[in-house]
Amino acid sequence: MVGFSRLAVFGTVLPLALAAVSSQPRPATELRLVKISEEDPGTWMTEEEKFEKLTSKRIGFMDITDTMELEAMGAARRARLQQRATFPSAPSHQTQANALIQNVKQANLQTWTNTLANFYNRYYKGSYAATSASWMYSTVTSVASANSAITVKQFTHSYSQPSVIATIPGARPRSSSSLLIMIPSGVVVVLEALRVLAEAKYAPANTLEFHFYSGEEGGLLGSRDVFNSYSRSGVQVLAVMNQDMTGYSPNNVIAVFSDYSDTNLNTFIKKLVPVYTSLPVSTDRCGYACSDHASAYSAGYPAAYVCDENIRDSSPYIHSAQDTVSTVSFPHVLEHAKLTVGFLVEASYF
């Protein structure tokens, strides 16, 4: 466990760029400190500038205003461990996983996607932020209710749209240093995987967490808050698999991204794709802060990012009015849900 008494020591190993930024006077509260690379010392900008200069141009960025110490804690964690996490050489629980995968339903994926699309917008600072978050919490709670062992909580942030975390406790004794397997983002994929495991009363050896982050478009705000909290509290995370953008794939592949992620975890997930889906694997690089796995990576946890397509052929409609349900391939989303269930079963025994 990482105690608070040791965090003061870790604070001394801040990267120079972050140390310089944190010593600067903080401007007016409406300004946010934003980074577009690991080396970037950060720039103060407004919410409007974030969208105009970065989001609209598909430039990945992190808003580190409230989590300036996260990278330093991650660097300290890596230094402590001194070696990469290791994972099985191949899947070994296909019988159990396939029995659960048979219960994955495409109709659920489509229904939830349509419901989400019917919100005028889900922007974390918009007028519908609290409404969409309330739907998310109530839906996750409803799905999880099939298994009384599952807990669901809201993780609050400095803005009005909380994230949601569902937890299936593991059979191994849990403490503040428990091992967790996390599946964040890809809302409908994660929901369906949770439903399947909840209805089966699935009892994993490792604790499983299902994360539904808010504020991703504002610079990975929700996920950075969560992993900042976990890092401060000394929570040990065994693996994080991020599912984001799962329904647009001209090449009909499942993409695993190699940068800002754990090489060994990526290798294991690539071996799962042909076992639990009917699709081939594609690999690519997505750049700095391209999705919420980057927050886990910054915190020093083994993280992977699974997506529907390589960057060159990814959806041209992202963050536009044309990004509608009509562009979604639900058979493709279904394959991601199958992979997620397969991964969760395999990871239950890491």
pLDDT in tens, 153-208: 999 999 999 999 999 999 876 554 455 777 766 899 999 999 999 999 999 999 99
- Which residue ranges form the domains of the chain, and what is each CATH number? 4-80 (no CATH), 86-347 (3.40.630.10)
Q: How far is CA 27 from CA 47, 134, 220, in A?
A: 14, 32, 21
Residue 237 to residue 257: CA distance in whole angstroms: 20
What's residue 318's pLDDT?
85
What's residue 185's pLDDT?
64
Instruction: Tell me the pairing of strands 254-257 and 151-155.
Output: unpaired
What's residue 127's pLDDT?
72
What's residue 178's pLDDT?
52
Single out the residue of 64, 58, 38 nearest to residue 225, CA to CA: 64
Q: How far is CA 53 from CA 11, 99, 218, 321, in A?
A: 31, 47, 12, 18
Q: How far is CA 175 from CA 35, 81, 259, in A?
A: 34, 19, 31
Half-sphere exposure of 302 (CA within 13 A, CB side): 23
CA 123 to centroid of chain Cα atoms:
17
Counted residue by residue, the chain has a size of 350
What's residue 125's pLDDT?
80
Token representation of residue 270: 């690539």
What's residue 148's pLDDT?
98
What's residue 30's pLDDT?
84
Task: Report, as ranges of residue numbers, the positions in the chain whose pLDDT lies below 70.
Answer: 1-29, 120, 173-179, 184-185
User: pTM for this one?
Assistant: 0.89
